[in-house]
Amino acid sequence: MSPPSRRLQTKPVITCLKTFLISYSLIFWFTGVILLAVGVWGKVSLEAYFTLASEESTNAPYVLIGTGAIIVIFGLFGCFATCRGSPWMLKLYAMFLTLVFLAELVAGVSGFIFRHEIKAKLGVAYNNAVTNYNSTDGSSSSSSSGAVDVIQRTLHCCGVNNYTDWSETAYFKASGIPASCCKDSANCSPESLKDPEKAGQEVYTVGCFARVTHVMESNLGIIAGISFGIAFFQLIGIFLSCCLSRYITNNQYEMV
């Protein structure tokens, strides 16, 4: 049994570590809420971009939502483990934080390394979507044609490189340039949309590929920055959890 003075020195350290770890766990819980919000926002706002990139409905937003929900649960678990002062719970919490750290690090590095491949794939997918455009398939943003319409309306653009790209498609020969390219749908007539020279005055002339990649790269940069920040933030939690578990275990041995 260790001297009482040593135990008295250990208790303030444990109390201090508990305070820091509870504060950390609450912040960690809040990052889970942010991921949930980003996942919901991505599902609502970026579905068209994900559809073009994957050529089918993507699960990426659901991955974010699921990850956020797990982090929320473990954030609360971290608070509970800290209040209980259970060494095995704290070790389990540290293991989970380690897994989160490694997963986010791998995802961030992979996204950075393959960013040019992602951009090239998106260009091919968008070009195919324009070539195979079908207005009857464009009522939903979950289809490639619907994604093209959403992007053209939202980003105020037309075609891949410019609006004249539509003149090379089968859709143009039958119906002209899609109405989603129109600056003002009330002033766009079916006749003018079938004439590239007249359409140039009524539709957006800037191509969508440059604008789509700009939007994607801007959002990927933000997401990557947040991911790296959260990933290295896990190291603080791992350190605090391991230290607290060690101090509590040592303190229990000292009381024997």
Q: What does the pLDDT average to over 176-191?
A: 85
Confidence of residue 49 (pLDDT cuts 50, 70, 90): low
Confidence of residue 248 (pLDDT cuts 50, 70, 90): confident
Confidence of residue 57 (pLDDT cuts 50, 70, 90): very low
Is residue 93 predicted with pLDDT exceeding 70?
A: yes
What pLDDT shows up at residue 252?
A: 64
What is the C-alpha to C-alpha distance for residues 166 and 149, in angstroms, rounded to an integer? Answer: 13
What pLDDT shows up at residue 51?
A: 61
Number of domains in the chain: 1
Q: What does the pLDDT average to over 20-32?
A: 88
Q: Bigger pLDDT: 108 or 213? A: 213
Residue count of the chain: 256
Q: Which of 92, 88, 81 is nearest to 17 (CA)?
A: 81
**Domain extent at residue 15:** 4-254
Confidence of residue 94 (pLDDT cuts 50, 70, 90): very high
